[in-house]
């Protein structure tokens, strides 16, 4: 009973926040937090590392104040304790041992880093701010902050870029650091090669002598049992010596089909998600990439492209390259018409999906951060009723079905409710630029 009471304000806050953020974000930031104590004056939380504290305070201060005790200034009165168990596992105080051997003796020269993938060239936005500062933290103090740092996120969102960013930064400060940056595939190839040449001990010695190991795309280790074990041993050896390990993956550790032992090891340090950048960040990335290539793109065009290409930064770059080649070749100015043509060419091979009420609800739910079940439900709170009206508007616009049938797919609403929603959103779109963009993107999401 006591325990329940203790956690009440925090549990209520979690219930509130869970509806607003993605499951991955929730798992990343909120799930690992535990309540140590709670009085009328103060809530004491245990967090796995200081980054979690910063993230929570940076993003949720206002909302926290609605649930937890507050101080005289109205700010949430929370004392964050960094988890002792994890902190000791990370051996935070031990200095990193640097091998004083000449660089030529070592393979830093064979590091294949893209020279563009630096922190300076990495544009920050809400979706990647945290992971970028974690990467910077690791690069500035290898082995002393989060170990390992595990970065996960979808294709083309900048994981490799950050990994190389760490390597560049570390090498710029200390050329003598023994650093290896490899893809999981080349690690496996190396292993096979060395097994064949009977030089596996040499390889082991090499990896175990590193100060920093950066491993890209660990998902490729799945279903490679023999290699997994070898990797796990090497990984443990490094972590135990307080050597920095950074891993990237397309999924969080818990979703990888790897041994429990390896998953647990990967979860030891900091697991950080890299998300899809919002519109403004995409525009900033696009302008930055264009600048690097010496291309000038008018702001309205940059917005136009970023609105159409939204879930993969690599595709944004592809769009610029294509646009630039086309306009140079044809001697054309970059205009909206040209962009539209190029973009439709770029995406013409993507088969159009059949649009259903179900798919509209899914798209609306991710755009507006509500659950599909809420869209079908009867809650009238604005946060839910509004996205529901948007979904109804889109259903009428995009699906050739009777209003009665469409309305009934929204948990048995009437056709007049649907018509009312359609009218309301239709009028609002005329006046509301943000809504227009949101609806445009929701539609794009459906059609691609
Ligand atoms: P991933 O490894 O996650 O698949 P990459 O790191 O290869 O993605 O990134 C794909 C492309 O997008 C690269 O050219 C990278 O420079 C660029 N990119 C991704 N995110 C950003 C960002 N925030 N700022 C600048 N460029 C970015
Ligand atoms: Mg990559």
- Give the pLDDT confidence of 274-310 residue by residue, as tens digits: 999 999 999 999 999 999 888 888 898 898 888 888 7
Ligand 2 ion: nearby residues, β-carbon < 5 Å? 159-160
Q: For position 434, what pLDDT does the model report? A: 87
Q: For position 87, what pLDDT does the model report? A: 41
Q: What atom in ligand 1 is closest to the CA of residue 217?
A: 2
**Residue 48 C-alpha to ligand 2 middle, in angstroms?**
27
Q: For position 158, what pLDDT does the model report? A: 96
Task: Return the CATH class of domain 357-447.
Answer: mainly alpha
Looking at the chain, the whole-number percentage of residues with pLDDT higher than 70 is: 89
Q: Is beta strand 244-249 parallel, antiparallel or unpaired with respect to 212-216?
A: parallel
**Residue 189 C-alpha to ligand 1 middle, in angstroms?**
25
- Which of 161, 220, 293, 311 is the best mutation target for the ligand 1 pocket, counting ligand atoms within 8 Å of the beta carbon and taking the most? 161
**Residue 204 C-alpha to ligand 2 middle, in angstroms?**
25
**Residue 155 C-alpha to ligand 1 middle, in angstroms?**
9
**Residue 5 C-alpha to ligand 1 middle, in angstroms?**
45
pLDDT at 93 over 50: no
Q: In which band, very low, low, confident or very high, does the pLDDT at 94 lie, cut at 50, 70 and 90?
A: very low
Q: For position 4, what pLDDT does the model report? A: 53
Note the ligand closest to the C-alpha atom of 292.
1
Domain 279-346 CATH assignment equals 3.40.630.30: no
> Does the predicted model carry a pTM greater than 0.85?
no
Q: In which band, very low, low, confident or very high, does the pLDDT at 192 lie, cut at 50, 70 and 90?
A: confident
- Give the pLDDT confidence of 111-135 residue by residue, as tens digits: 788 989 999 999 999 999 999 999 9
Looking at the chain, the whole-number percentage of residues with pLDDT higher than 90 is: 47
φ, ψ (nearest 5 deg) of residue 47? -120, 150
Q: Which fold has domain 2-89?
A: GMP Synthetase; Chain A, domain 3 (3.30.300)
Helix axes 382-398, 415-431, angle to 10 degrees: 100
Q: What atom in ligand 1 is closest to the CA of residue 316?
A: 12
Note the ligand closest to the C-alpha atom of 285.
1
Nearest residue (by CA) to ligand 1, atom 26, is: 122
Instruction: Answer with the residue of higher pLDDT: 285 or 355.
Output: 285
**Closest Cα partner for 16 from 55, 54, 90, 67?**
67
Q: For position 24, what pLDDT does the model report? A: 63
- Enumerate residues 6+ apart whose C-beta is below 8 A from 14: 30
- Give the pLDDT confidence of 130-163 residue by residue, as tens digits: 999 999 999 999 998 889 999 999 999 999 999 9
Q: Which residues pair with 248 in a beta bridge?
A: 151
**Closest Cα partner for 373 from 386, 388, 393, 383?**
388
Q: For position 196, what pLDDT does the model report? A: 84
Q: What atom in ligand 1 is closest to the CA of residue 132?
A: 23
Q: In which band, very low, low, confident or very high, does the pLDDT at 351 lie, cut at 50, 70 and 90?
A: very low
Q: What atom in ligand 1 is closest to the CA of residue 281?
A: 23
Rounded distance, CA 21 to CA 280, Å? Answer: 19
Q: What is the DSSP letter of 76?
A: B
Q: What atom in ligand 1 is closest to the CA of residue 158?
A: 6
Note the ligand closest to the C-alpha atom of 135.
1
CATH of domain 103-273: 3.40.50.300
Q: For position 447, what pLDDT does the model report? A: 65
Instruction: Answer with the residue of higher pLDDT: 100 or 247.
Output: 247
Classify 271 as helix, strand or coil.
strand
Q: For position 248, what pLDDT does the model report? A: 98
Rounded distance, CA 357 to CA 441, Å? Answer: 17
Average pLDDT over residues 232-241: 92
Q: For position 342, what pLDDT does the model report? A: 81
- Sorted by where each begins, the domain ranges of the chain are 2-89, 103-273, 279-346, 357-447
- Give the pLDDT confidence of 242-263 residue by residue, as tens digits: 999 999 999 999 999 999 999 9
Q: For position 159, what pLDDT does the model report? A: 97
Residues with a CB atom less than 6 Å from ligand 1:
117, 121-123, 128, 153, 155-161, 285, 313-314, 317
């Amino acid at each position: 009973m006591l325990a329940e009471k203790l956690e009440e304000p925090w549990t209520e806050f979690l219930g509130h926040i869970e509806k607003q953020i993605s499951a991955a974000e929730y798992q990343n930031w909120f799930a690992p937090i535990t309540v140590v104590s709670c009085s009328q004056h103060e809530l004491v939380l245990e967090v796995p590392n200081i980054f979690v504290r910063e993230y929570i305070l940076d993003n949720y201060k206002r909302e926290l104040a609605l649930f937890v005790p507050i101080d005289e200034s109205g700010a949430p009165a929370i004392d964050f304790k960094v988890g002792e168990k994890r902190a000791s596992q990370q051996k935070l105080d031990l200095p990193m041992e640097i091998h004083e051997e000449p660089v030529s003796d070592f393979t830093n020269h064979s590091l294949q880093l893209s020279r563009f993938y630096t922190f300076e060239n990495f544009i920050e936005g809400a979706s990647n701010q945290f992971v970028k500062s974690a990467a910077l933290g690791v690069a500035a103090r290898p082995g002393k902050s989060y170990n390992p740092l595990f970065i996960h996120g979808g294709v083309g969102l900048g994981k490799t870029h950050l990994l190389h960013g760490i390597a560049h930064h570390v090498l710029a400060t200390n050329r003598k650091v023994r650093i290896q940056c490899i893809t999981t595939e080349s690690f496996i190839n190396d292993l096979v090669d060395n097994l064949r040449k009977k030089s596996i001990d040499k390889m082991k010695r090499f990896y175990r002598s590193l100060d920093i190991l950066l491993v890209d795309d660990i998902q490729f280790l799945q279903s490679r049992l023999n290699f997994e074990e070898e990797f796990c041993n090497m990984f443990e050896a490094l972590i135990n010596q307080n050597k920095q390990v950074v891993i990237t993956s397309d999924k969080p550790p818990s979703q990888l089909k790897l041994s429990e032992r390896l998953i647990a090891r990967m979860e030891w340090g900091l697991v950080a998600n890299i998300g899809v950048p919002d519109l403004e960040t995409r525009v900033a990335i696009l302008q930055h990439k264009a600048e690097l290539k010496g291309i000038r793109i008018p702001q309205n065009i940059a917005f136009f492209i970023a609105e159409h290409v939204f879930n993969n930064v690599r595709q944004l770059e592809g769009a610029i390259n294509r646009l630039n080649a086309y306009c140079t070749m044809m001697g054309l100015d970059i205009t909206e018409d040209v962009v539209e043509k190029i973009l439709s060419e770029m995406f013409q091979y993507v088969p159009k999906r059949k649009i259903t009420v179900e798919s509209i609800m899914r798209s609306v739910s991710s755009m507006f951060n509500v659950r599909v079940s809420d869209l079908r439900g009867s809650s009238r709170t604005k946060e839910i009723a509004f996205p529901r009206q948007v979904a109804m508007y889109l259903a009428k616009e995009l699906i050739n079905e009777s209003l009665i049938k469409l309305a009934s797919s929204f948990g048995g609403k009437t056709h007049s409710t649907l018509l009312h929603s359609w009218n309301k959103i239709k009028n609002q779109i005329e006046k509301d630029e943000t809504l227009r963009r949101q609806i445009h993107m929701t539609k794009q999401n459906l059609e691609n």
